[in-house]
Chains A and B, each alone.
Chain A
Amino acid sequence: MDDLFDTAAAGGTLIELRDLKVHFPLRKAKFLEKSPGAVRAVDGVSLRIRRGETLGLVGESGSGKTTLGRAVLRAVEPTGGQVLFHRNGNAIDVTALNRRGLRRLWQDMQMIFQDPYASLNPRMSVRDIISEPLVANHLARGKVLEKRVADIAGKCGLATEHLSRYPHAFSGGQRQRIAIARALVLQPEFVVCDEPVSALDVSIQAQILNLLRTLQRELGLTYLFISHDLAAVAYASDRVAVMYLGQIVELATTEELYYRPKHPYTEALMAAIPAADPETQMRPAPLAGERPDPAAPPPGCRFQTRCPYADAQCRSEPPPLIELAPGHFAACHHTARLRLRGALQQEDAPAAAEFLLLE
C-alpha cells in the first residue's frame, strides 16, 4: 500500500507492515472441509513506523491491537502478509525468518508486557531476570555482564540493593521497571509496549510514562505504544492509529486525531471518555450496542452495526483506508462529508461543529 509513504519524515521507515493478517482457526478443519471459521484478530493491516517515533495504537477489546503487537515480533505467528524490518539499509522480512534468524532479530526488537505480575518469573532474582537475555544469547559474561545489568537497572530507576531481591517484594510500578530493564538490556531499536501502564495505579502510570519517554531520548528507541487508554496514548505518542475489529480505521498525528477525527468510531471513542472536570456535562453514551463477533464480521464496513451515519453503501462495500489530508488516513465512505467532533477544543481550533449528515 504505497500510499502510506512517509513524505518528509525525520527518520526513515523502521518497521513496515504489509497487509498483515493473524487468523485463529476456531477448530481444526473437518474432513473434506475447506477451512472452518476463524477469529480474524488482525485482518489486513498495512502501516509504517518511522525511526525514532512513538506510534500509538488504540482500540477496545477485540480490536486486535495486542495480537498485532505480538505478530510484529512473531511472538504470535502471522497467517498472512509481511513484516519488514529496515536495518542498515536492508529490509529484513521478519515473517520469513527461521528460528535462528528470529533469535537474532529479537536482539533488535523487544516487548514490554501489560501485567508486571505475570511477565516476571517469580523464582528468579531481579539480577537474573535482567541478565537473562544477555546470558541466553551468549553476549556477555562476568564483569561485563554485571556492568551492563547495573547500567540499565540504574537507568530504569532500580537501586543496586534491588537486584538481589525477588519480584514479589516489589510494587507494580517497580516490577514494570524491571520488565523494562529486561527488554532494554539488549539495546534494541524497536520496542512494542503492550499496555505498559494499564495495570498500574494512576499516580505510578505517570512515572512509567515519563521513564519510557526519557529512555526513548537517551537510547534512540522507536515505540509501538498499544493501549486502550486514550489519554495515556495521547500523552505518549507522536502518531496514533485506531483499530476496530482487526483493521485500522484511522491514522494521523496525535493532535489531528484527537481534535479533528475523520472516522465515526474515533469520534465515538473521544466522546466516551469521561472528562475529569465536574463542570462538563456528561454526554449520553455515544455508541449503542456491542461489537460484532470477530469470527463473523459484517459485510461492508465493519463499524456499520453501531455507526450513527451508516447507510446502504456502508453495508455492502468495505471502505478502503485512504489519505484524506497529508499524513491523515481514514477508512470511511462519508468522511469527507461528515464534520466530526473531537475530544476537546483547542483555543484556536475550528469552532465546535455539529455533525451534519448529508443525504
Chain B
Amino acid sequence: MTAGPLLSLRNLQVELRVEGGSLPILDGIDLDLAPGKVLALVGESGSGKSVTAQAILRILPRILRIAGGQIRFRPNGSDIDLAALSADGGAIQGIRGRQIAMIFQEPMSSFSPLHTIGNQVGEVLRIHERLSKIEARERTIGLFDRVGIPNPASAVDRYPFEFSGGMRQRAMIAKALSCSPSLLLADEPTTALDVTIQAQILTLMRDLQAELGMGILFITHDLGVVAQMADEVAIMYAGKIVERGPVRAIFKQPLHPYTINLLRAVPRLQDLHRRRALNPIRGSVPSLFEMPAGCAFHPRCEFYMAGRCDAATPELLPVGVNHFVACYRHG
C-alpha cells in the first residue's frame, strides 16, 4: 500500500467575508488520513468541522474562501493540492464523485424531489464512467442491493419522498460509492436517524469500508459513534484542532482540557448506575466576533494560566505515538 497518507491538510485556513473585513473560520488545520482508515472529526457547533469537509471538495459557500494552506490528496501514488485547484474547474469536477465522495446529514435535502432516486444515483456513473442509461440503471440496481435497499429493481424508479430517512441514507451511500472512491467524506450521516437505523447504517458503512478499502473522514459530535467507528480522532474547537490521536488514546488518556471536559459532560449509559452527575463545561462556544486571545478555550478552562494561555495560540505538538495536543500543559 502507499506509504504516505491519503489526505493531508497543512495549515488550512478558511475565512468568512463580512462587511468590513474577514474572520477566520479555520485557523490553520493540520490533519492526516491514512488510506483505509477512519478518521473522526469531532466538534460542536462553531468548530468548523463541516467547513473542513466542504473545503476539501471545494464546495464552500461563496461567503467563505480558502485563505491559505494545502489540501494534499494522494490516491494511487499521485499527489494533488486540492486547495490550488480552481473551484469551478474541470480538475476538481473530475475528482468529485469519483475519487472523493461525500454523504450528508439530511438525506431529504440531498436529493432532488423531481427525479427518481435511480436517476440521481446513476447520474454519477453516467458522468464519470460514461455509462449509458441502461448500463447505469443496471449498476444502480446492483448498488442498491449491496446497500440493503429491498426490491432494488422497483426502488430504482421511486422518488425520494417515497423513501424513509434510513433508506434515503442508504441510497446516498450507494451514490457515493458507485465509482469506488478512495476517500469518503461523511458529514454527520447518522445524526438525523433513529438510533436503531443508525446502528444499521454504521454497520453497513463499516462493511463497505472493509470491502472497498477506502479512507473515511467521519464528521460527528456523537462520542459513541466515534468510539465504534474511528481508528483515529481529531477534536476541533473554534476552528483549530486541539487534540489528535488514536481512538483508544483519546478516550483513555485525553490530554486537552476540552477533550477531558467533553468526555465528562456527555451522559453515558455505563455511568447510569454510578449516578454520576454531569459536569457541563461552563460558558459557551465564543462567537466569531468575540474570539478570545491566545488559546480559544482558555475562558472555559479549569487549568487556565494567566499570561500564557491568553498570550499566544498553542501549537499542535506530539506527546505520544501519533498523539498530538495543542495545550501549554503539554509541551
A/B contact in complex, CB under 8 angstroms: yes
Q: Which of A306-359 contact B (CB under 8 A)?
A: 343-344, 346-347
> Given A60-B195, A274-B227, A290-B164: A258 and B272 within 8 A (CB)?
yes
Q: Which of B277-329 contact A (CB under 8 A)?
A: 277-282, 284-285, 287
Residues of B within 8 A of A205 (CB): 265-267, 280
Within 8 A of B (CB), among A219-239: 228, 230-232, 234-235
- Residue pair A286, B269 in contact (C-beta under 8 Å): no
- Beta-carbon contact of B272 and A343 below 8 Å: yes
Asked if A280 is at the interface of the complex by the 8 Å CB criterion, the answer is yes
Q: Chain B contact residues: over half helix, strand or loop, or mixed?
A: helix
A253 to chain B, nearest CB (A): 12
A203-B248 CB under 8 A given contacts A231-B268, A234-B267, A343-B269: no
Size of interface on B: residues with Cβ below 8 Å to A: 49
Nearest A residue (CB) for B166: A290
Which B200-229 residues sit within 8 Å CB-CB of chain A? 200, 202-203, 206, 221-229
Which residues of A lie under 8 Å from residue B247 when comparing CB positions? 278
The smallest C-beta distance from B244 to any residue of chain A, in angstroms, reads 15
Q: How far is the CB of B141 from chain A (nearest CB, A)?
A: 20
B278 lies within 8 A of A234 (CB) = no
Contact A269 B196 (CB under 8 A): yes
What chain A residues lie within 8 Å of B28 (beta carbons)?
A: none
Among A202, A276, A284, A287, point to the contact of B227 (Cβ < 8 A).
A276
Contact of A209 among B200, B269, B278 (CB under 8 A): B278
- Bound together, the chains give a CA A234 to CA B279 distance in angstroms of 16
* Distance A77 CA – B204 CA, assembled complex (angstroms): 41
8 Å CB interface, A57-104 against B? 60-61
Residue pair A275, B265 in contact (C-beta under 8 Å): no
The minimal Cβ–Cβ distance linking B19 to chain A, given in whole angstroms, is 17
Closest to A169 in B: B287
One of A172, A203, A230, A287 near B262 (C-beta < 8 A): A203
Is residue A2 within 8 Å, beta carbon to beta carbon, of the partner chain? no
With A201-B44, A278-B251 as known contacts, state yes or no: A272 contacts B198, CB within 8 Å.
Answer: yes
- Determine whether the beta carbon of B251 is less than 8 Å from that of A286: no
Which chain B residues (38-65) contact chain A, with CB distance < 8 Å? 44-45
CB neighbours (8 Å) of A290 from chain B are 164, 166-167, 197
The reply to whether B194 and A206 contact each other, CB–CB distance below 8 Å, is: no
Given A61-B194, A171-B285, answer yes or no on A274-B203 (Cβ-Cβ < 8 Å).
no
B61 to chain A, nearest CB (A): 19
A285 close to B (CB within 8 Å) = yes
Whether the Cβ atoms of B224 and A274 lie closer than 8 Å is yes
| Per-position 1/0 for B162-181, Cβ under 8 A of A | 00111100000000000000
Chain A min CB distance to B82 (Å): 29
* Smallest CB separation, A223 vs chain B (Å): 16
Of chain B, the residue at the smallest CB distance from A272 is B199
Contact A344 B269 (CB under 8 A): yes
Let me know if A140 is at the binding interface, CB within 8 A.
no
Residues of B within 8 A of A174 (CB): 284
Partner of A206, one of B165, B222, B265: B265
Do A203 and B281 have beta carbons less than 8 Å apart?
yes
Whether, in the assembled complex, B261 has its beta carbon less than 8 Å from a beta carbon of chain A, the answer is yes
Q: Which A residues lie within 8 Å of B197 (CB)?
A: 60, 290
| Contact assessment for B267 and A209 in the assembled complex, using a CB-CB cutoff below 8 Å | yes
Q: Is B272 in contact with A285, judged by CB distance below 8 angstroms?
A: no
Q: Counting CB contacts under 8 A, is B76 at the interface?
A: no
Asked if A274 contacts B225 (CB within 8 A), the reply is: yes
Most central of A171, A271, A278 by chain B CB within 10 Å: A278
| A204→B272 contact, CB < 8 A | no
Which residues of A sit under 8 angstroms from B222, Cβ to Cβ?
Answer: 202, 274
A131 contacts B by Cβ under 8 Å: no
The answer to whether A275 touches B269, judged by C-beta atoms less than 8 angstroms apart, is: yes
CB distance from B269 to the nearest CB of A (A): 5
Q: Which residues of A contact B272 (CB under 8 A)?
A: 234-235, 254-255, 258, 343-344
Q: How far is the CA of A228 from the CA of B195 in the complex (A)?
A: 8
The residues in A between 168 and 217 inclusive whose CB is less than 8 angstroms from any CB of B are 171-174, 201-207, 209-210
**Does the CB pair B266–A231 fall under 8 Å?**
yes
A275 touches B228 (CB 8 A): yes
Given A172-B45, A173-B284, A276-B224; A285-B196 close (CB under 8 Å): yes
Are B196 and A203 interface neighbours, CB within 8 A?
no
21 cross-chain CB contacts under 8 A? A201-B45, A202-B223, A202-B265, A204-B44, A204-B280, A205-B265, A205-B266, A207-B280, A210-B277, A231-B269, A255-B272, A259-B273, A272-B198, A272-B199, A274-B198, A274-B199, A274-B228, A276-B227, A278-B247, A278-B251, A343-B272
The 8 closest A-B pairs by CB, nearest first: A274-B224, A206-B280, A60-B194, A201-B44, A285-B199, A206-B278, A207-B280, A272-B199
> Which residue numbers of A lie inside 8 Å of B, CB to CB?
60-61, 171-174, 201-207, 209-210, 228, 230-232, 234-235, 254-255, 258-259, 268-280, 282, 284-288, 290, 343-344, 346-347
A-B contacts besides A61-B165, A228-B195, A344-B270, 19 pairs, CB < 8 Å: A61-B194, A171-B285, A172-B45, A173-B284, A201-B44, A203-B280, A206-B279, A234-B272, A259-B273, A271-B199, A273-B195, A274-B224, A274-B229, A276-B266, A278-B247, A285-B199, A285-B203, A287-B196, A343-B270
